[in-house]
Amino acid sequence: MTRRTINVEYLARVEGEGALNATIRDGVVEQVELNIFEPPRFFEAFLRGRDFREAPDITARICGICPVAYQMSAVHAMEAACGGALPDPLHVLRRLLYCGEWIESHVLHIFMLHAPDFLGCHGVVEMAKTHGDLVRRALRMKKAGNAIVATVGGREVHPVNVRVGGFYRAPRRADLLKLRDELQWARDAAIETLNWAAGLPYPDYERDYLLVALRNPSHYPMNEGRIVSSAGLDIPYDDFENHFQEIHVPHSTALHGRTKQGRSYLVGPLARFALNHDRLSPEIVALAEKAGLTPSCRNPYKSLIARAVEVLFAFDLALEIIDGYREPDAPAIDVEPREANGRWATEAPRGLLYHRYEIGDDGLIKEARIVPPTSQNQPSIEKDVRGVIEANLDMADDVLQHRCEQTIRNYDPCISCSTHFLKLNIERLTGDEAQA
Amino acid sequence: MAKPKLAVWKFASCDGCQLSILDLEDELLALAETVEIAYFLEASSKTVAGPYDLSLVEGSITTPHDAERIQDVRRQSHKLVTIGACATAGGIQALRNFADVKEFTKAVYARPDYIKTLETSTPIEDHVTVDFNLRGCPVDKKQLLEVVSAMTFGRKPMIAADSVCGECKARGSVCVAVAEGTPCLGPVTHAGCGAICPAYGRGCYGCFGPSDAANMPATARLLQAQGLSEDEIVRILRTFNAYAPAFREESEKHDAPNDQC
């Protein structure tokens, strides 16, 4: 019997700080823990006593990669609490802003964080030496997404233009039309991305996930929908807490999401695509299939293809919105506070993001609860890593270690969101050795 | 000549300021040819050991472990530049400095005994010598590029330290405070964003923190005249730079009405 220890100081190319601890005793995986030690920042605590109109600016600061997602869940939850439905042009502008964030976040992950795993590089700068055209195309696509966020939201990171009730200033039609040519180039680049993604070496691994995503009668889900699952769950978005729970485990400052029955589940692009492919255009579904992604796909490494599909979708949708855009009469509707409880879920780039607020008639927040996608995916990440180690025990330590990191990166984990770094320790023990 | 070595470090933060480096879509590859990106975990799994010519530090100090780690980062760094409101002022998480952190932990976590955290969130400068503080929540990416260029080539960064008002005039925006009576922190907020908020029809909410010569009492009087209550003045000053001295001290004046009569 031998003892093998794999120890990686830090897992790179994720947003935030954590570690993975895996113990293998006599060739059997004993324990896998995604150890998140990102310092807690206590958003839900200091939101209490703040004005309900401050929630979109404050919660944006949970994550610099997906601030729009936090702003969208927050403003919708507040509008749900206080009453008031947005007229169509404002609603559509929110979708446009969200398109920008999906593009910026997905392109960052596909090319800068995830692709190096498939191409055998350490990062995007190294990748630029061997795959210069690819990296330049990626940067240009990302810039096109960021340009949407900057035009509609005022700046790329922590946009300033989102408010409860709509926007501070609606963009001029001429401002949006300026984005058009570059978006047209970028949607073709997104098709090239899918063709490129088809040729990547995806490890053979599948798991029977419980998939959870929003679903909406007419659109691929972004800002609204019912919560559905691959097991037939179909509930209103505000019923989330009756079906899902968060559990505090000792090894993580991020809470762990599970169903009320204790089952782990998967949110994010793979789940969204599987549950909502019929809401995409036949052209996009055909391109996805050509790239190797079908609705029945349960290979987590192919989440890269699902992101690429959603990038193409978001470019097409952004173009459609811009072409049909009419400047609204007012940039926002009035939303007056009342004593109420508001709940909402939107689809952040990494998956379902649920907010609940209780506010008083003075407009002050009494209680806040935020359930980010990475918290919900944590148990699933641990299960995947366990499965991958079990299926690859013969691998050399450094290869197995890399495969585990790649498996975690499938999730595009945003550890800053879920609290919040990854240090990887794989320990191989024999029966007579004490656990570290 | 060897390229200057750049390192990027994260403490308690949202990642948005280091993301600004990756958001330099037009300059990133040129930057990587000029400096060696030796340690930047968000972007590369390859790390080169220190010492480093320039360290960019994002985030605030909120745990005992991080209070030690920043000392180690300083020892390895020839120049150390903080990036963003968390690193320069303690960030939004410094709202705990005005509250009871034990109660905060109980409000968020079922098992507070699992959580190790400090009572306060503090800026990097409270712990080690900082060569330059770049403000903003988030930092402006062009300013970030300027600071990296200046620091790696041994010149002073050209970063204006006046207020958002100057940038707002330069942009040609109508003053939202004067024309519409909208509460605006522009007069006391550090320049750097380009005065985005007034251009979008809203008052500045101070995300770059206080400017060098901020006249806080005058701004507080203006906010009062615009109808803000004492609680509202406290809230407008206590966001992403709540613990920056000028904002903190002024907010304390309005938070303790009994001492102010």
List the single residue in A124, A250, A255 with the smallest CB-CB distance to B43.
A124
Once rounded to an integer, what is the mean pLDDT over residues A146-166?
98
pLDDT for residue A421 is more than 60? no
> Is A30 among the domain residues?
no
As beta bridge partners, residue B39 has: B7
Once rounded to an integer, what is the mean pLDDT over residues B10-25?
94
Q: Which range (A11-20, A151-160, A400-409) has the least confidence? A: A11-20
Contact yes or no for B92 and A126 at CB 8 A: no
Residue B242 or residue A33, greater confidence: B242
Q: What is the pLDDT of residue B243?
A: 97
Once rounded to an integer, what is the mean pLDDT over residues B132-148?
97
Q: What is the pLDDT of residue B257?
A: 54
A327 φ/ψ angles, rounded to the nearest 5 degrees: -60, 130
Sheet holding A351-359, edge to edge: A340-348, A351-359, A365-371
Contact yes or no for A12 and B16 at CB 8 A: no
Task: List Cα–Cα distances, B96 to A54, A63, B22, B89, B93, in angstroms.
Answer: 17, 19, 30, 13, 6
pLDDT confidence band for A168 (50 / 70 / 90): very high
pLDDT for residue A2 is more than 60? no
CA pair distance A67, A194, nearest whole angstrom: 26
A168 φ/ψ angles, rounded to the nearest 5 degrees: -75, -40
Once rounded to an integer, what is the mean pLDDT over residues B154-183?
95
Q: What is the dihedral of CA B95, B96, B98, B103, to 10 degrees?
A: 140
The helix (run of H) or strand (run of E) holding residue B79 is: strand B77-83
Return the DSSP state at B193. S
Contact yes or no for B103 and A168 at CB 8 A: no
Q: What is the pLDDT of residue A35?
A: 76
> Is A341 among the domain residues?
yes
A173 φ/ψ angles, rounded to the nearest 5 degrees: -60, -35
Contact yes or no for B108 and A108 at CB 8 A: no
CA distance B196 to chain A (A): 6
CA distance B19 to chain A (A): 7
Which of B44, B93, B202 is best to mutate for the A interface (most A CBs within 10 A)? B44
Q: What is the pLDDT of residue B62?
A: 93
Q: Which residues of B201-239 are buried (b: 16+ CB within 10 A; e: fewer)?
A: bbbbbbbbbbbeebebeebbebbeeeebebebbbbbbbb
Contact yes or no for B196 and A154 at CB 8 A: yes
CA distance A257 to chain B (A): 13
CA pair distance A77, A40, nearest whole angstrom: 24
Contact yes or no for B25 and A331 at CB 8 A: no
CA distance A244 to chain B (A): 16
Tally C-beta pairs within 8 A across A and B.
Answer: 201
Q: Which range (A217-231, A326-340, B6-20, B247-261) has the least confidence? A: B247-261
Q: What is the pLDDT of residue A253?
A: 66
pLDDT confidence band for B36 (50 / 70 / 90): very high
A44 is in an annotated binding site: yes
CATH number at residue A361: 1.10.645.10
Once rounded to an integer, what is the mean pLDDT over residues A166-178?
98
- Contact list in B for residue A14 (CB cut-off 8 A) is 42
The helix (run of H) or strand (run of E) holding residue B141 is: helix B141-152
A414 is in an annotated binding site: yes
- Contact list in B for residue A39 (CB cut-off 8 A) is 11-12, 62-63, 66, 93, 117
Once rounded to an integer, what is the mean pLDDT over residues A305-328?
98
Q: What is the pLDDT of residue A16?
A: 65
- The count of other CB atoms within 10 Å of the CB of residue A432 is 8
pLDDT for residue A422 is more than 50? no
Q: What are A195-225's pLDDT values in tens digits?
A: 999 999 999 999 999 999 999 999 999 999 9
> Is A225 among the domain residues?
yes
CA B89 to chain CA mean position, Å:
6
> Could you state, in order of their start, the residue ranges of all structural domains in chain B?
5-152, 164-254
Q: What is the pLDDT of residue A427?
A: 67
Contact yes or no for A156 and B240 at CB 8 A: no
Q: What is the pLDDT of residue A416?
A: 54
Q: What are A244-255's pLDDT values in tens digits?
A: 998 877 776 667
Q: Which range (A59-73, A267-281, A381-395, B109-123) has the least confidence? A: B109-123
Confirm if A22 and A4 have CB atoms less than 8 A apart.
no
- Contact list in A for residue B114 (CB cut-off 8 A) is 248-250, 253
pLDDT for residue A37 is more than 50? yes
Confirm if A70 and A353 have CB atoms less than 8 A apart.
yes
Once rounded to an integer, what is the mean pLDDT over residues A86-108?
96
pLDDT confidence band for B114 (50 / 70 / 90): low
> Is A432 among the domain residues?
no
CA distance A107 to chain B (A): 11
Q: Which range (A1-10, A189-198, A321-330) has the least confidence? A: A1-10
Q: Which range (A59-63, A227-231, A256-260, B132-136) has the least confidence? A: A256-260
Which two tokens mark A67? 């601030």
A420 is in an annotated binding site: yes
pLDDT confidence band for A30 (50 / 70 / 90): confident
Contact yes or no for A126 and B44 at CB 8 A: yes
pLDDT for residue B220 is more than 70? yes
CA pair distance B228, A94, nearest whole angstrom: 29
The overall average pLDDT reported for chain A is 90
CA pair distance B53, B67, nearest whole angstrom: 22
CA A265 to chain CA mean position, Å:
14
Residue A45 or residue A2, greater confidence: A45
Residue B65 or residue A435, greater confidence: B65
Contact yes or no for B17 and A64 at CB 8 A: yes
List the single residue in A61, A154, A167 with the smallest CB-CB distance to B14.
A61
As beta bridge partners, residue B8 has: B40, B56
Q: Which range (A37-46, B52-61, B169-178, B205-214) has the least confidence? A: A37-46
Tell me if the pTM is above 0.90.
Answer: yes
Q: What percent of chain A has pLDDT over 70?
A: 90
Q: What is the pLDDT of residue B261?
A: 42
> Is A27 among the domain residues?
no
- Contact list in B for residue A253 (CB cut-off 8 A) is 109, 114-115
Q: What is the pLDDT of residue A423?
A: 41
Q: Which residue of A has its CA nearest to B107?
A: A45
As beta bridge partners, residue B10 has: B58
List the single residue in B92, B121, B200 with the smallest CB-CB distance to A154.
B200
Residue B168 or residue A123, greater confidence: B168
Q: What percent of chain B has pLDDT over 90?
A: 85
pLDDT for residue A420 is more than 50? no
Three-state helix/strand/coil letters over chain A: CCCCEEEEEEECCCECCEEEEEEEECCEEEEEEEEECCCCCCHHHHCCCCEHHHHHHHHHCCCCCCHHHHHHHHHHHHHHHHCCCCCHHHHHHHHHHHHHHHHHHHHHHHHHHHHHHHHCCCEHHHHHHHCHHHHHHHHHHHHHHHHHHHHHHCCCCCCCCEECCEECCCCCHHHHHCCHHHHHHHHHHHHHHHHHHHCCCCCCCCCCCCEEEEECCCCCCCCCCEEEECCCCEECHHHHHHHEEEECCCCECCCEEEECCCCCCECCHHHHHHHHHHHCCHHHHHHHHHHCCCCCCCCHHHHHHHHHHHHHHHHHHHHHHHHHCCCCCCCECCCCCCCEEEEEEEEECCEEEEEEEEECCCCEEEEEEEECHHHHHHHHHHHHHHHHHHHCCCCCHHHHHHHHHHHHHCCCCEHHHHCCCEEEEEEEECCCCCCC
CA pair distance B116, A368, nearest whole angstrom: 22
CA distance A397 to chain B (A): 17
pLDDT for residue A368 is more than 80? yes
> Is A429 among the domain residues?
no
Q: Which residue of B has its CA nearest to A167?
A: B200
pLDDT confidence band for A15 (50 / 70 / 90): low
A370 is in an annotated binding site: yes
> Is A60 among the domain residues?
yes
CA pair distance B31, B34, nearest whole angstrom: 5
A24: Cα within 13 Å, side-chain hemisphere: 27
Start-to-end Cα distance in chain A: 17
Go through chain A and tell me how many residues it has: 436
> Whole domain around residue A286: which residue ranges?
43-418
Q: What percent of chain A has pLDDT over 90?
A: 74
Which of A110, A114, A125 is best to mutate for the B interface (most B CBs within 10 A)? A125
CA pair distance B95, A44, nearest whole angstrom: 12
Q: What are B86-101's pLDDT values in tens digits?
A: 999 999 999 999 988 7
pLDDT confidence band for A4 (50 / 70 / 90): low
Once rounded to an integer, what is the mean pLDDT over residues A105-109?
96
Number of domains in chain A: 1
Contact yes or no for A40 and B235 at CB 8 A: no
**Is CATH 3.40.50.970 the right assignment for the domain spanning B5-152?**
no
Confirm if B81 and B151 have CB atoms less than 8 A apart.
yes
CA pair distance B161, B134, nearest whole angstrom: 10
List the single residue in B22, B42, B197 with the smallest CB-CB distance to A160.
B197
> Is A182 among the domain residues?
yes
ipTM: 0.95
